[in-house]
């Protein structure tokens, strides 16, 4: 059997522990797909796999037990899935064109969840379109609100939905539901003054709990959707850590620009001897310094006037090395 394992891996096939056997990794941006896609995944698993499908931590499918001989046939069967999911592809029928940049994953967001501040899957799709295919090792996750159910803070880029609560004192009945909600579920940024509500803007994390609790529509969401961009969280052997805030009250366009700029930064500074051409961005930033990264990340970016940019970032985490 003559297999170029590097090519196979970049074509989203795993080199498994069992000789001759691979697994097909199906990337599902934002973790949202139709039942049709599920059926097609099932068909591949039944025809070329061993009937088992793993739901990956990054919201893809890993179709197990496929013979390395059948990669081309599996790629053919993947085509309708790739088209339905809108995956960027160089040539039809050739499967997923890359695997280094991981699936952009997302919580269920405002399609279903009452706390979600935006359509996470739609934004995930937008990022997918902007960055794929790409073999650099990037992990991006989107979460609808500050609850961060997707654990966006453990990613290179964590995108957390925010809203600027809009208050109409004329509709407020001083019931206190927002104050109680903010205290019990969030950061206690609200207080009553003269029977109306005062929001501590510095404390507020834009979670929108006050809006969901308000019974009279005194609190509503801002027309504009905002995001907190956290950067360089990671797991792993050396120094696992949570991502830190980089931009607060930023917008979609800025986030996409910052991510694309980061690809350029990595291309410039990546360790040329890195195994498989993959080095975690966070370690590159640790090496060259945050200020240099920031210069690259914000190159050509026009920030919203309301965006807070962190001057410096000090990550912590556990140091095993």
Residues in contact with other proteins by CB under 8 A are 110, 114, 116-119, 144, 161, 163, 169-177, 193-195, 208, 211-218, 220-221, 223
**CB of residue 84 to other proteins, shortest distance in Å:** 24
Q: How far is the CB of 306 from other proteins (least distance, A)?
A: 18
Instruction: Select 113 or 298, whichever has its Cβ closest to other proteins.
Output: 113
103, HSE (Cβ side, Cα atoms, 13 Å) = 24
Q: Which is nearer to other proteins, 38 or 173 (CB)?
A: 173
∠ Cα 158 164 168 (to 5°): 160
Q: What is the C-alpha R_g of the chain?
A: 22
Closer residue to other proteins, CB minimum distance, 161 or 233: 161
Q: Which is nearer to other proteins, 14 or 225 (CB)?
A: 225
- The least distance separating other proteins from the CB of residue 289, rounded to whole angstroms, comes to 38
Three-state secondary structure of 2-26: CCCHHHHHHCCEEECCCCCEEEEEE
For other proteins, the closer CB: 38 or 198: 198
**Which three-class secondary structure state does DSSP give residue 177?**
helix
Minimum gap (Å) between residue 122 Cβ and other proteins: 10
Report cis status (omega within 30 of 0) of the bond before 311: no
Helix H segments across 155-219?
177-185, 209-213
All residues at 6 or more sequence positions from 222 whose CB lies less than 8 Å from its CB, including other chains:
163, 164, 165, 166
For the chain, the 3-state helix, strand and coil shares in percent, each to the nearest 5, are 35, 20, 45
DSSP-based three-state secondary structure for 252: helix
Smallest distance from other proteins to CB 175, Å: 5
CB of 89 to other proteins, least distance (A): 30
C-beta neighbour count of 25 within 10 angstroms: 22
The smaller minimum CB distance to other proteins, of residues 55 and 175, is found at 175
Closest by CA to 138, choosing from 237, 269, 36, 263, is 263
CB of residue 314 vs other proteins: minimum separation in angstroms?
33
In the complex with other proteins, the residue whose CB is nearer, 116 or 158, is 116
**How is residue 247 written in tokens?**
């931009």
With tokens 């709990």, the residue in question is 209
Least distance to other proteins, CB of residue 239, Å: 35
Interatomic CA distance for residues 205 and 107, integer angstroms: 18
Q: In terms of CB distance, is 79 or 212 closer to other proteins?
A: 212
């Amino acid at each position: 059997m003559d297999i170029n394992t590097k090519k196979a891996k970049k074509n989203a096939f795993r080199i498994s522990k069992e000789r001759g056997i691979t697994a097909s990794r199906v990337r599902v941006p934002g973790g949202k797909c139709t039942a049709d896609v599920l059926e097609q995944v099932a068909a591949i698993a039944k025809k070329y796999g061993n009937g088992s499908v793993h739901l990956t931590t990054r919201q893809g499918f890993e179709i197990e037990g496929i013979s390395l001989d059948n990669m081309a046939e599996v790629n053919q069967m993947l085509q309708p899935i790739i088209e339905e999911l809108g995956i960027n592809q160089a040539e039809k029928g050739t499967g997923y064109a890359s695997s280094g940049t991981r699936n952009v994953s997302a919580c269920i967001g405002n399609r279903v969840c009452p706390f979600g501040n935006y359509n996470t899957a739609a934004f995930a799709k937008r990022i997918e379109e902007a960055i794929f295919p790409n073999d650099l090792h990037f992990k991006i996750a989107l979460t609808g609100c500050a609850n961060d159910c997707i654990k966006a803070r453990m990613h290179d880029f964590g995108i957390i939905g925010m809203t600027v609560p809009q208050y109409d004192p004329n509709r407020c009945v001083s019931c206190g539901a927002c104050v109680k909600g903010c205290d019990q579920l969030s950061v206690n940024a609200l207080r009553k003054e003269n029977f109306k509500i005062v929001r501590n803007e510095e404390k507020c994390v834009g979670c929108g709990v006050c809006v969901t609790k308000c019974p009279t529509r005194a609190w509503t969401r801002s027309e504009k959707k905002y995001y907190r961009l956290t950067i360089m969280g990671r797991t792993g052997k050396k120094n696992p850590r949570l991502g830190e805030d980089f931009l607060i009250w930023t917008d979609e366009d800025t986030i996409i620009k910052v991510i694309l700029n980061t690809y350029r930064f990595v291309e410039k500074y990546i360790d040329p001897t890195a195994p498989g051409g993959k080095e975690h961005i966070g370690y590159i930033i640790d090496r060259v310094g945050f200020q240099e990264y920031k210069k690259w990340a914000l190159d050509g970016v026009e920030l919203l006037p309301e965006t807070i940019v962190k001057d410096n970032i000090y990550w912590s985490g556990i140091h095993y090395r």
